[in-house]
Structure 1
Amino acid sequence: MAATPVWSVDPRTGKQREQVAVEATPQDVDRAVRAAHATREALADRGARIAFLRTAAALLDEAAGAVVEAADAETALGPGRLTGELARTGYQLRAFADAVEEGTYLDIRIDRADPALTPPRPELRRYKIPLGVVAVYAASNFPLAFSVPGGDTASALAAGCPVVVKAHPDHPATSELCASLLRRAAERSGLPADVVAVVHGFDAGLELIRHPLVSAAGFTGSIRGGRALFDAAAARPVPIPFHGELGSLNPVVVTEAAAAERAEEIGAGLAGSVALGVGQFCVKPGLVLVPEGAGGDRLTGALAKGLGETEPGVLLDHRMRENFVAGVRERTALPGVAAPVTPGAGGEHTVGAGFLTVSARSLVEEPERYEVLLEECFGPVTVVARYADPQEAGAVLERLSGNLSATLQVSAAEGEGAPGPAAELIGTVTALAGRVVVNGWPTGVAVAPAQHHGGPYPAATSHSTSVGGTAIERWLRPVAYQSVPEALLPPELREANPLGLPRRVTP
């Protein structure tokens, strides 16, 4: 059987650019996984891992022009956006190198033996070890930061886990270029190149999740695709952890006091957040609860102005464009739904930003009819639901599933603790989301130690984060050593602490 070619496609025209690879066969996937598995012992060297991550960041910086050019040609995200994303990618790699060097991620705990306790306590020493080969499924909307050299890959390598990436079909040339840079960085750091590998093709993705030597997986993408892989991971003879970031509506609630105080500012900010990256951010606000009345009218007027002035943009591929146009059409066909600025096809290859309006009462009283309005529509559109009172807004929130983010827009007085719905809303949205934003916008996820990018299902399939320092925890498991002689302990747990690692000791 002839190999199936993998083509790079220009989303601005829909035309094929070049063939960059072929789809991996089951034999190709098996070879890649086994080669990665064979590098585990070499990757156990913390010093080599640190050098590797920092060298990878340096090589990406050196090749910035070529990387940004390739990514723009395949995604139409633009050099400005992609230059920023590349900087974020390099920062992630360096941050995880720093984390490995510092050592807290090992979570070393030592409990001294105490025979006087009831019951007596033996000597216990605990730390975390890498799981093994990690399968990473690259994202469409972040060809760098959530793809081959992205956070899943960086955190898994930092943990000591080799990585096999299933490249996204929207940017195969970028994936191959970044993989070559990572593999070169590995060799320069004294590691085998096979600590990172890339495979292409839908079937290859299924083979990868089922391979017996794959120990965990990370995914960023749709609910449908992520759930299929999650189920496959659970159905294996030996199930494995599957850390998937799936879909999110990212609700926004504007209090009546906030709308009265700064409606125009909120409307303009909302327009920018909805249209950012042509609406292709996983934390794009997809539902906005706005009060009825003059403040709400001023807010939607400012939103209409902001989105009405937004130039049409190109989505990542034509399939996504077709889905966006169809999704908007389905939503606008519902009774009572209006489109003050109509989103949809902006040209042969582009889409225009816009928003829809509906009464919150409809969402509460006829949930089945309006169910689609409470589902993510990938692209530059949001749904504004006008509520009559805070109880009605709360009733809408109760109908939502898990989200990556939830945002509150409150007045200055409410932010200082003045009586109002803000305090109650904080508790409500905390139950819905992994990140709560007040008087800001969820688009833009800072890479920081305290960051959490995840949330209740379907935002994520686990309670871990795919962004920030604690993302490394996904690829580790704890082991406790009880009454083990010093000579038999791993260096990380020996009494003299020869590696100088931080540890918590209970006398």
Structure 2
Amino acid sequence: MLNGTHLVAGEWLGSDETFENTPIDGKPDRFAAGTVELVDLAARGAAASFPSYSATTGKERATFLRKISAELEARREEITQMGVRETGLPLGRLNGELSRTTGQLELFAAHIEAGAHLDLRHDPALPDRQPLPRPDLKLVQRAIGPVAVFGASNFPLAFSTAGGDTAAALAAGCPVVVKGHSAHPGTADLVAQAVAAAVTAQGLHPGVFSQVQGGSRAVGQAIVQHPLIKAVGFTGSLVGGRALFDLCASRPEPIPFFGELGSVNPMFILPEALENRGAEIAAGWGASLVMGAGQFCTNPGLAILVGGPQAETFVQDTVGALAQTASQTMLTDGIAEAFRKGTADLANTVGVDTAVSEPVVGREAAPSLFRTSGKNWLANEILGEEVFGPTGVVVIVEDMVEMHKVANALRGQLTCTLQIDAQDYELTKPLIPILEQKAGRILVNGFPTGVEVCDSMVHGGPYPASTNFGATSVGTMSIRRFVRPVCYQNMPEELLPAV
């Protein structure tokens, strides 16, 4: 059952203004809209809970995370069916995403239970050292304080209410205030109920988790500017993310804004791989482009290859692969409209040829494909911008020299992909140092739309892929965003933190 209200420090509170979700069928549900006043209550509740919650042991927080996972599993059918209704994503995708959500909660639980996040260091005192003695020095990572998390439109579970940012912050010992995404408020409502049940079951301070739904831009601005919020996790558009990033930086006390903002995720196809596996790569690329209606931040929207007969065959093979895909429902009317405009802008750019294009009807979008030359791509900045949806651009370069020019001209990316065979290794070696400066993840002979949640994963990159190139929003290393090192000098054992 939906509450239709906001979870604020253990209480379900309404507001005067309301809004509706936009289900793919049936009558919409109505929800209380967020307000600046609710944000203030949530932030104050989070701050009040911080002393007790940050003092819990890793084992205690691990038990809490596992309890959230169990509460989500208990509500699996209700949550996934609501997710399908609100987003148009298939049930299989939502079930997989819920499993990823519970899985990363379990992963963080094991990580903090083992103390792997603490980075404990000790330099014992050297009282007899000359010319000066050394004091006793101990270092440990400590929670930074209340964290704001913005739900993502394209991942109603894994990157939203109880998703990766929330899991990492709670694992670190930080209370969380979630700004629910208006694209799936019903799903967020049900997930918040699961978290609330876990908070109660573990006897934690109720301010450890709050969720404020919907509302105007002022609500999001109030969250990032609230003086009690100490960091922000965000997944969304470049325009919206950059605006919030600037607000965080302009605060009297600036705070870190960990924003994942977008990427075209280029794929470089080298000559031998193109000759030996062109058809296979085209089929795989086409499938990756249309997965989830192309609504993945790691959607590989750019393919760069040297011109010639194999390149022409590759384009036609990709056209054939895309032709087998029917239209798909996009997440929201706004995303569908942005996709319509983005593909129209590509089609109208000088020097760009349209290989596949179908009109967007309502929220239904079919795949599209464009091609251009390396020279034209380098001359048109718009060709390097993300079009969120099932679309790709083939860039035909004259030679490897021009391929390097394209690589050097790229803005920051989440991923870069290399399609190579053994005979391409020598040509590949000069590309790798370039791509290391462009992306957080470089992959070989695959497609980037699968992001493994594990210790080694990096989901981030240079701006504008993310606002902090040293951070990741996926994997256990993401906990580092919400802790900071504290050094204790000559601190008596009795006064040190329990860890």
Alignment TM class, shorter chain as reference: over 0.9
Distance change >3 Å, CA 489–CA 308, structure 1 → 2: same
Q: 2:474 — aligned with what? A: 467
Aligned equivalents of 1:350, 1:147: Cα separation in 2? 24
Q: 2:382 — aligned with what? A: 372
Offset at 1:425?
1.3
SS in 2 for 1:377: coil
8 A contact 1:256–1:291 mirrored in 2: yes
Aligned equivalents of 1:334, 1:16: Cα separation in 2? 41
Aligned equivalents of 2:291, 2:155: Cα separation in 1? 13
Offset at 1:192?
2.8
**Would you identify which runs of 4 or more consecutive aligned residues in structure 1 move more than 3 Å?**
none
What are the Cα deviations for residues 106-157 of structure 1, in whole angstroms up to 9, with x where unaligned? 1111100113255432110110111110000111000000000100000000
Aligned pair partner of 1:113 in 109, 116, 125: 125
Q: 1:142 — aligned with what? A: 155
Offset at 1:412?
3.2
The reply on whether 1:276 has 2:291 as its aligned counterpart is yes
Q: 2:492 — aligned with what? A: 485
8 A contact 2:331–2:363 mirrored in 1: no
The reply on whether 1:336 has 2:342 as its aligned counterpart is no
Q: 2:412 — aligned with what? A: 402
The reply on whether 1:39 has 2:49 as its aligned counterpart is yes
Q: 2:196 — aligned with what? A: 183
Q: Which runs of 5+ in 2 are unaligned?
A: 1-14
Offset at 1:198?
0.6
- Letter in structure 2 aligned against 1:350: E
8 A contact 1:343–1:381 mirrored in 2: no
TM-score, normalization: structure 1?
Answer: 0.92
The reply on whether 1:49 has 2:61 as its aligned counterpart is yes
Offset at 1:48?
2.8
SS in 1 for 2:449: coil
Aligned equivalents of 1:118, 1:292: Cα separation in 2? 67
What are the Cα deviations for residues 388-415 of structure 1, in whole angstroms up to 9, with x where unaligned? 101111111222110000001011333x
Offset at 1:344?
4.0
Aligned pair partner of 2:136 in 123, 130, 133: 123
Offset at 1:42?
3.0
The reply on whether 1:67 has 2:73 as its aligned counterpart is no
8 A contact 2:333–2:362 mirrored in 1: no
- Letter in structure 2 aligned against 1:315: M
Aligned pair partner of 2:451 in 441, 445, 449: 445
Aligned equivalents of 1:211, 1:164: Cα separation in 2? 11
8 A contact 1:23–1:204 mirrored in 2: no
Offset at 1:222?
0.6
Aligned pair partner of 2:29 in 11, 15, 18: 18
Aligned pair partner of 1:289 in 287, 299, 304: 304
What are the Cα deviations for residues 436-495 of structure 1, in whole angstroms up to 9, with x where unaligned? 011000101000100000000011111200000110010001111111222222222xxx
The reply on whether 1:266 has 2:281 as its aligned counterpart is yes
SS in 2 for 1:458: coil
The reply on whether 1:385 has 2:385 as its aligned counterpart is no
8 A contact 2:343–2:368 mirrored in 1: no
Q: 2:257 — aligned with what? A: 242
Offset at 1:299?
1.5
Q: 2:244 — aligned with what? A: 229
Aligned equivalents of 1:118, 1:382: Cα separation in 2? 65
8 A contact 1:223–1:458 mirrored in 2: yes
Which shows bigger deviation, 322-331 or 35-44? 35-44
8 A contact 2:302–2:392 mirrored in 1: yes
TM-score, normalization: structure 2?
Answer: 0.94
What are the Cα deviations for residues 189-244 of structure 1, in whole angstroms up to 9, with x where unaligned? 12133311111223211111111110111000011111111111111111111111
SS in 2 for 1:289: strand
RMSD: 1.4
Aligned equivalents of 2:278, 2:389: Cα separation in 1? 24
Which shows bigger deviation, 372-381 or 405-414? 405-414
Aligned pair partner of 1:157 in 144, 162, 170: 170
8 A contact 2:162–2:195 mirrored in 1: yes
Offset at 1:338?
1.3
Aligned equivalents of 2:27, 2:389: Cα separation in 1? 23
Q: 2:341 — aligned with what? A: 326
SS in 1 for 2:117: helix
Offset at 1:23?
1.8
Offset at 1:343?
4.6
Aligned pair partner of 2:374 in 360, 372, 376: 360
Offset at 1:16?
5.9
Quick one: percent identity of the two aligned structures?
41
What are the Cα deviations for residues 142-198 of structure 1, in whole angstroms up to 9, with x where unaligned? 000000010000000000000000011100111111011001011111213331111
Aligned equivalents of 1:314, 1:394: Cα separation in 2? 37
The reply on whether 1:83 has 2:98 as its aligned counterpart is no
Provide the aligned length of Structure 1 versus Structure 2: 479
Aligned equivalents of 2:451, 2:392: Cα separation in 1? 19
